Amino acid sequence: MEIITINRFLEYYEDTRSITNKVLAAIPHDKLDWTYREGKFTIGDLIRHIAAIERFVFAEMAIGHKPCYKGCKSDITIGYNSIFDYFEAMHVQTIKILETVSDVSLSNNISLIKGREIPLKNLLRNMIIHEVHHRGALCIYLNLLGVSTPPVLGLMEEQLIELSK
């Protein structure tokens, strides 16, 4: 996606988030603390991580601030409804922040955490890549638990094969 205007980017990002929300809706209430191996993200950690990175890294850097990410463990929020409220609140805050970004500034360079500079529009693209990456991890977690996940682009593979005949 070529990011030319902030409004078009935000529309695209909301489409990305709507798919993520479908995956989140498939998570069983009793599996938020599940992980495939000790020391790895739990399902709840992954949800909090997507939310916190979006808000406290990408949104902050988009407006020229230093990231203020503090992690994603259960000390942030715990419990099924609380985690999803946090996820939504961080997204709403991020969108409000990004709505202040001008179209002209999308081509301005910003400094990444390690000092490398990239255009702001590339940072925003990376925010989507980050979410999609962790959404994929959530799908794998759910599949390991035997939970069906929704199709990402509207069709399951079997449906696509059938329609391709």
Domain residue spans in the chain? 6-163
**CA-derived radius of gyration, the chain:** 17
* Architecture in CATH of 6-163: Up-down Bundle (1.20)
134 marked as part of a ligand binding site: yes
pLDDT in tens, 77-135: 878 899 999 999 999 999 999 999 999 999 999 998 888 999 999 999 999 999 999 99
DSSP string of 48-96? HHHHHHIIIIIIHHHTTPPP-----STTS--SHHHHHHHHHHHHHHHHH
pLDDT for 33-84, tens place per residue?
A: 999 999 999 999 999 999 999 999 999 999 999 999 998 887 788 788 999 9
- The C-alpha atoms of residue 38 and residue 24 are separated, in whole angstroms, by 22
Q: Confirm whether residue 49 is marked as ligand binding.
A: yes
Q: Is this prediction's pTM over 0.75?
A: yes
